[in-house]
Amino acid sequence: MTVTLADVAARAQVSPATVSRVLNGNYPVAASTRERVLKAVDELDYVLNGPASALAAATSDLVGILVNDIADPFFGIMASAIQSEIGGPGGRAGGERLAVVCNTGGSPERELTYLTLLQRQRAAAVVLTGGVVEDAAHRAAMDAKLRKLTEAGTRVVLCGRPPAPGTGAVALAFDNRGGAQELTEHLIGLGHRRIGYVAGPEGQMTTRHRLEGHRAGLAAHGIAADPRWVVHGRYDRQAGYEAALELLRRDASLTAVVAANDSVALGVCAALRDSGLGIPGDVSVAGFDDLPFSVDAVPALTTVRLPLAEAGARAGRIAMGREEAPPGGIASVRGELMVRGSSGVPRG
């Protein structure tokens, strides 16, 4: 029996118009209402219309690529590489697939909504990029959604995200801890002992893993982690600028600063210069990701290179069934330390 929009509305105890607004994302809806509607959609396995229901066992030519912010080079590079692998041999309709980039804006609710929409369209594959929010309820909802997608025949690949055991999703997870530890130990090897850290937003797994790697590097050399030396902020240049000024206010004797990513590192460098400090003469600076602008910064930025394009292309091939999934469905993707001019021996 075909499930209708009215059935979903009745289950969620809302109007059909509200269900439409939630699924199409074209009107603000309270978070609690959105959750009820999406839960009803999942429970009833609602799809767009009668013909779609008849094709429930099939998949379409649609491929969804979820990113936090398409304007951020980190996500743009991966999305471009994933899309380059969509189509060609193995696709339906002459080998072509329609890739749709879904920009979540970092919203967990929006992420779930996009997955629901892709589920309704019987997407052939879905690739999710970037980190995840550390919220138990959201993680459970995500796992349930991914499981429904894979059970319906959609290939799901997590690119740069931690594994989701039991969902059927393949994970290419960046080794954020290992890269951060190697970066910090590089600075320690140069002689630095007072190292500030500009972390990403709290409550995000990438933020926690990179901070844990940094602290592991300190601990491996017997350096106590001073809480004054860590400031959290957004993953952007302005946050890096503000955080660097705060670190200097807390402890002007710092000789190095590690930034959560390269964009943050640029803000750190600007704040240091505006404070009359030289890089690396007074303070060394390091970033993470090795985004394209990093090598052109002055001085060029020491950072950890994540193979964003390579990982994205591999995720695209796995999603299209043109490359085997890694053993156990999980692969750890290591970064590479890139030593450049922004790091040097500490001032005397």
How many whole angstroms separate alpha carbon 262 and alpha carbon 266? 6
Q: Is the pLDDT of residue 26 over 60?
A: no
**Nearest in space to 126 (alpha carbons), one of 149, 104, 144, 103:** 149
pLDDT given for residue 63 in this prediction: 95
pLDDT given for residue 45 in this prediction: 72
How many whole angstroms separate alpha carbon 85 and alpha carbon 159? 14
Contact 120/52 with Cβ under 8 angstroms?
A: yes
pLDDT given for residue 155 in this prediction: 96
Section 110-127 average pLDDT: 92
**Nearest in space to 269 (alpha carbons), one of 232, 301, 246:** 301
pLDDT tens-digit profile of 49-83? 534 443 444 467 899 999 999 999 999 999 999 99
Q: What is the DSSP string of 21-67?
A: HHHHT-S---HHHHHHHHHHHHHHT--SSHHHHHTTTS--SEEEEEE
Q: Is the pLDDT of residue 23 over 90?
A: no
Read off the amino acid at residue 37: V
Average pLDDT, the chain: 90
49 secondary structure, DSSP code = S
**Nearest in space to 287 (alpha carbons), one of 273, 267, 307, 272:** 267
How many whole angstroms separate alpha carbon 139 and alpha carbon 125? 20
* Predicted model pTM: 0.83
261 burial type by CB count under 10 A (0-12 exposed, 13-18 middle, 19+ buried): buried
- Which residues are registered as beta bridge partners of 183? none
Enumerate the H helices of 55-160 as residue ranges.
73-84, 108-120, 136-151
Q: Pinpoint the residues of the chain covered by CATH 3.40.50.2300.
A: 5-174, 176-306
For residue 64, give the 3-state DSSP assignment. strand
Q: Is the pLDDT of residue 312 over 70?
A: yes
Give the rounded distance of the alpha carbon of 109 from its chain centre.
15
**Architecture of domain 176-306 in CATH?**
3-Layer(aba) Sandwich (3.40)
- Compute the radius of gyration of the chain from its Cα atoms: 22
Contact 239/264 with Cβ under 8 angstroms?
A: yes
How many whole angstroms separate alpha carbon 236 and alpha carbon 147? 33
CB burial readout 310-320, b (16+ within 10 A) else e: ebbbbbbbbbb
Angle between helices 31-44 and 16-24 (to 10 degrees): 90
Fold topology of 5-174: Rossmann fold (3.40.50)
Residue owning tokens 């995720």: 315
Section 181-191 average pLDDT: 98
- Compute the C-alpha angle 279/282/288, nearest 5°: 45
pLDDT given for residue 70 in this prediction: 92
How many whole angstroms separate alpha carbon 336 and alpha carbon 178? 10
H or E element at residue 214: helix 205-220
Residue 227: both structure tokens together: 């809480």
How many whole angstroms separate alpha carbon 156 and alpha carbon 167? 9
Section 3-31 average pLDDT: 82
The mean-pLDDT minimum among 41-50, 76-85, 125-134, 219-228 falls in: 41-50
Q: CA–CA distance from 338 to each of 186, 305, 319 (Å)?
A: 10, 7, 30
Contact 166/142 with Cβ under 8 angstroms?
A: no
